[in-house]
Amino acid sequence: MKAIVYTEGGGPEVLRLTERPLPQPGPGEVRVRVEVSGVNPTDWKSRRGGPPATVAEQVPNQDGAGVVDAVGEGVDPGRAGERVWLWEAAWQRADGTAQEYVTLPEAHAVPLPATASLDTGASLGIPAMTAHRALTVAEGGPTRLAPGVLGGRNVLVAGGAGAVGHAAIQLARWAGAFVVATVSNPYKAELARAAGAHHVVDYTAPDPAAEIRRAAPEGVDIVVEVAVAVNSGLDLAVLAPNSVVAYYADTGGAEFTLPVRETFTRNLRWHGVLVYTMPDAAKREAVAAVTAALRDGALRSGEESGLPLHRFPLERTADAHAAVEEGAVGKVVVDV
Ligand SMILES: NC(=O)c1ccc[n+]([C@@H]2O[C@H](COP(=O)([O-])OP(=O)(O)OC[C@H]3O[C@@H](n4cnc5c(N)ncnc54)[C@H](OP(=O)(O)O)[C@@H]3O)[C@@H](O)[C@H]2O)c1
> Computed from CA positions of residues 103, 101, 294, 290, in that sequence, does the dihedral angle turn out positive or negative?
positive
Say whether 159 sits in a helix, a strand or coil: coil
pTM of the model: 0.98
- Give the amino acid at 253: G
Q: 60-74 pLDDT, tens per residue?
A: 999 999 999 999 999
Q: 271-313 pLDDT, tens per residue?
A: 999 999 999 999 999 999 999 999 999 999 999 999 999 999 9
Query: Atom of ligand 1 at shortest distance to CA of 40?
Result: 15
Beta bridge partners of 64: 37, 86
Distance 31 CA to ligand 1 centre (A): 32
Please list every protein residue whose CB sits less than 6 Å from any atom of ligand 1: 40-42, 126-127, 130, 158-159, 161-165, 182, 184, 188, 203, 226-227, 230-231, 248-249, 251-252, 273-275, 327
Closest residue by CA, ligand 1 atom 33: 159
Distance of CA 22 to the CA centre of its chain: 29
DSSP 93-118: SSB-SSBSEEEEEGGGEEEPPTTS-H
Contact 309, 39 (CB under 8 A): no
Residues 6+ apart with CB under 8 A from 81: 67, 68, 69
* Percent of the chain at pLDDT exceeding 70: 100
Closest residue by CA, ligand 1 atom 43: 162
Q: How many residues are present in the chain?
A: 336
pLDDT of residue 243: 98
Instruction: Report the alpha-carbon distance of residue 75 to residue 72 in Å, rounded.
Output: 6
